Structure 1
């Protein structure tokens, strides 16, 4: 599994969604801080559970990612938001950001690269 995991968040006001593009895990919350925290917790919990599986199952669980069209849509949202200079204090405008989730070295090295 590659580290860091690529994640994106999109939203405005009290409607926020985030997704880990490398594991196809999503979260929804009412604030940017909450949605990133919830996604980080979900990813860590998923990886912890996956690491408890036998090697064959672990490889399958740790190598799933979002379909290419979903990845392209999220990446383009992030690009457009950065291109047009939207920021978090933009008065309720939608914001798209990317962030990474670092994995502990033991976790990243315990699975094959996808």
Structure 2
């Protein structure tokens, strides 16, 4: 795989008892009961979606599929999650049980686009 392959940015968030994962670069979303399941589902969806996009014969339609960012609210949530994870990782005091304890609630993910892209 070439090192210049684009990565797609994603995050997962635990809401209630379920995990929801979003790909902000392709506007895709999945949900599952566990973090490993939601990660696997999102990766499979991204691969399927990109394969379908690359099979398109109309160049404009293909471009539209490949450059389809998520709505602004989802993108802003990604940046919030990214900041929350970063603060937790630098040893910032955590408020256990409070609304600022992000451990186990968020996960940042990125996936390399398959070689077909």
Q: Report the counterpart of residue 100 of structure 1 in structure 2.
A: 110
Query: Out of 18, 32, 35, which is 1:32 matched to?
Result: 35
Q: Report the counterpart of residue 111 of structure 1 in structure 2.
A: none
Q: Report the counterpart of residue 7 of structure 2 in structure 1.
A: 4
Q: How many residues align?
A: 103
Segments of structure 2 that go 5 or more residues without pairing to the other structure are 90-95, 98-102
SS in 1 for 2:43: helix
Looking at structure 2, the residues matched to 104 and 73 of structure 1 have their Cα atoms a distance apart, in angstroms, of 26
Structure 2 matches for 1:54-73, cutoff 5 A? 54=57, 55-73=59-77
Q: Report the counterpart of residue 82 of structure 2 in structure 1.
A: 78
Offset at residue 84 of structure 1 (A): 3.7
Looking at structure 2, the residues matched to 31 and 51 of structure 1 have their Cα atoms a distance apart, in angstroms, of 30
Runs of 4+ residues deviating >3 angstroms: none
CA deviation digits over 1:28-65, x for unaligned, max 9? 00000000000000111011111111222110111001
Looking at structure 1, the residues matched to 18 and 32 of structure 2 have their Cα atoms a distance apart, in angstroms, of 6
Offset at residue 94 of structure 1 (A): 5.0
Offset at residue 69 of structure 1 (A): 2.8
TM-score relative to the length of structure 1:
0.77
Segments of structure 1 that go 5 or more residues without pairing to the other structure are 108-114
